[in-house]
Amino acid sequence: MISENALAWVEMLAPLQRLDVLKQAARHLQDWMMQRKLRNTSEWSDFKEVESSISGLLCLATALGYEEDVYDGAMKDGVKHGIGTCTYANGEKYTGEWLQDMRHGHGVCWYTNRICYDGTWRNDRWCGQGRFFDKGRGYISEGEWGDNLELNG
C-alpha cells in the first residue's frame, strides 16, 4: 500500500526532476519504516517493499544527477553525531564515529583512489593509532598518525 504510493511519487516526480522532493520522500519512507519496527509490528512483507521503494527513490535521484552525500546513522541537533556511515557524492565512504558533524573516534574511510584508512580520527583528520592501505601500490602502514600524517610506523 505505501510502496504503491512511493511508486506513484516516483512516476510523478521523475519528469519534473524534483530531486529535493525525491530525497524527502525517501526519508519519509525510512522514518515510516523505523516507526513500524520500533512498534514491533508484524508488517514485515511491507518492509521489503518499502526498502525497495527507498532504494528506487535514491537510485532515481542519482540517475537524474542529484549528487549529494548520503548519511545513514545517529544524529544530534541536526548533525552527524554517534555511529554512522556517510557515502560522499565523490564515491568515498566513511563508516564510524561522528562528533558534531566531524569524523571523530574510530572509523574506516575508503577513498576513490583505492586508499583506505582504518583508525582513530580527531576533528575530521587521521589522528592516533591507525592503518593505511594503498591497494594500487600494495602498500600497508600501521602506526601513529597526526593531522593526516604518519608520525611513526
pLDDT digits (tens, 9 = 90+) for 8-46: 555 555 555 555 556 666 666 666 666 665 555 555 455
pTM, entire model: 0.58
- With cell 532515481, the residue in question is 60
In the chain, where are the structural domains located?
2-63, 70-152
Q: Does 70-152 carry CATH code 1.10.10? A: no
Q: Measure the CA angle with vertex 76, ends 74 and 77; round to 5°.
A: 145
Averaged over successive runs of 10 residues, the pLDDT of the chain (153 residues) comes to 50 55 63 60 53 59 65 92 89 93 95 90 94 86 86 68
CB atoms within 10 A of CB 120: 20
